[in-house]
């Protein structure tokens, strides 16, 4: 008798939730800072789940991701400066790892160093250039969450990521200009 999955749609739930959060962050990350921090926590939870349990069920992976996302949202609401630094560190480290993986074949032996250096750069950027750094980081994270939910060849995945990131930056920059009352 074959094992039947009691939650057949749960396998898609993490990717779907991630993609939906990615769309919101891509377009509104600067305005919804708390959601941006929550999404980074969600993305970290998805990646952390296999380290918490060997071959975690989709339900456990989703639960871990949602808990870390909730912690991120609470941090953003109550401890904004700390949340900004944590967001910058996690997003910078994640993005540095993704960039290193794309350009260097043997980056894995330096992955911790790449993550820490990228994290420090991300934290400093977010603290110093908050609005613009948040626009760029939220656009990149939103694009990453959306792109991760879509199965494409590597070149197509890269094109989708870049296109989404540019779209997010343009939409959020236009929103920033409108909110500051400047005319382009």
Tell me: the pLDDT tens digits for 40-85?
A: 777 777 777 777 777 777 788 778 888 888 887 787 777 777 877 8
Per-residue pLDDT, averaged over 24-53, amounts to 77
Structure tokens that stand for 58 in this block: 């989709």
Q: Whole-model pTM above 0.85?
A: no
Number of domains in the chain: 1
* Residue 5 resides in a domain: no
For tokens 């879509």, the residue is 150
Residue 176 belongs to what domain range?
10-180
Q: Is residue 3 part of a domain?
A: no
Length of the chain: 184
């Amino acid at each position: 008798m074959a094992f039947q999955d009691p939650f057949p749609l749960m396998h898609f739930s993490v990717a779907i939730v991630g993609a939906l959060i990615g769309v919101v962050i891509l377009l509104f990350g600067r305005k919804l800072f708390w959601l941006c921090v929550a999404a980074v926590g969600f993305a970290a939870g998805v990646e952390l789940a296999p380290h918490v349990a060997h071959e975690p069920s989709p339900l456990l992976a989703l639960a871990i991701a949602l808990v870390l996302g909730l912690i991120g949202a609470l941090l953003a609401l109550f401890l904004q400066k700390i949340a900004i630094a944590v967001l910058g560190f996690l997003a910078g480290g994640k993005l540095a790892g993704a960039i290193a993986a794309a350009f260097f074949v043997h980056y894995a032996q330096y992955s911790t160093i790449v993550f820490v250096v990228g994290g420090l750069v991300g934290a400093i950027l977010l603290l110093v250039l908050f609005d613009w750094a948040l626009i760029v980081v939220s656009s990149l994270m939103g694009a990453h969450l959306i792109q991760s939910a879509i199965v494409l060849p590597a070149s197509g995945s890269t094109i989708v990521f870049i296109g989404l990131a540019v779209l997010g930056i343009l939409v959020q920059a236009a929103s920033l200009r409108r909110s500051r009352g400047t005319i382009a």
